[in-house]
A and B are shown apart, each in its own frame.
Chain A
């Protein structure tokens, strides 16, 4: 089964509103998480990361929250813009010396004008 997955395949929000994209993971040993944005025909673009010893990390217009108790990760995008339309993936590193990232299926964020 999957270790990383997303609750909603598609999220539609109004331009200017805040977006929250969720991700569940099942491996309690995972110690590092990344959110990527993927636009059509392009590679995953790094947005923000967080280590398991943190609960929250903020970037420019984005915030990642990590709840280790329920193994939940979220990405908050403030004041969404048309350019935020993309598929968003959470990815985890499972620790124990692993190099590779395990990706979720992705959430398609659609910005309504």
Chain B
């Protein structure tokens, strides 16, 4: 069964550094998403991406964040200057169409630790 994959599984970085989290969505899916989950809290939506542009973003997704689909398979989340409060699990998800219509399938996550 096709799965969303994410790398790395764990990323440790110093405050102020840039990080790039990588995802390979399910191959025939068209919509891509990033969510985060701070330890012990609920999953929060960051951004959705369709047709090579951002479709929707939340208040969390400020100018420090960016997303890109550099090729036909990868989908990345970049945090330009990490803060301590960026420490969280970051999940990539994909769906065949908009989340309004069909389920979003999640990857295993990248644990980001900012020190």
Most chain B beta-carbon contacts within 10 A, residue among A45, A89, A95, A100:
A100
* Any A CB within 8 A of the CB of B45: yes
Contact B31 A99 (CB under 8 A): yes
B48 touches A99 (CB 8 A): yes
| Interface positions of B from 22 to 65, Cβ below 8 Å from A | 31, 33, 35, 41-45, 48, 50, 55-56, 58
Contact with B along A94-105 (1 / 0, CB 8 A): 010111111111
Please state if B106 and A93 are interface contacts (CB–CB under 8 Å). Answer: no
CB of A89 within 8 A of CB of B100, answer: no
A31, B58: Cα distance in complex, Å: 19
Measured CB to CB, the nearest residue on chain B to A95 is B100
CB-CB under 8 A for A32 and B100, given A42-B109, A100-B48: yes
Contact B91 A43 (CB under 8 A): yes
A49 to B111, CA, bound (A): 27
Write the chain B residue with the least CB distance to A2.
B42
| In the complex, per-residue mask of A25-52: 1 if CB is within 8 Å of any chain B CB, else 0 | 0000001101010000011111001000
Q: Please tell me if the beta carbons of A46 and B100 are within 8 angstroms of each other in the complex.
A: no
Question: Residues on A close to B: CB < 8 A?
Answer: 31-32, 34, 36, 42-46, 49, 89, 91, 93, 95, 97-106
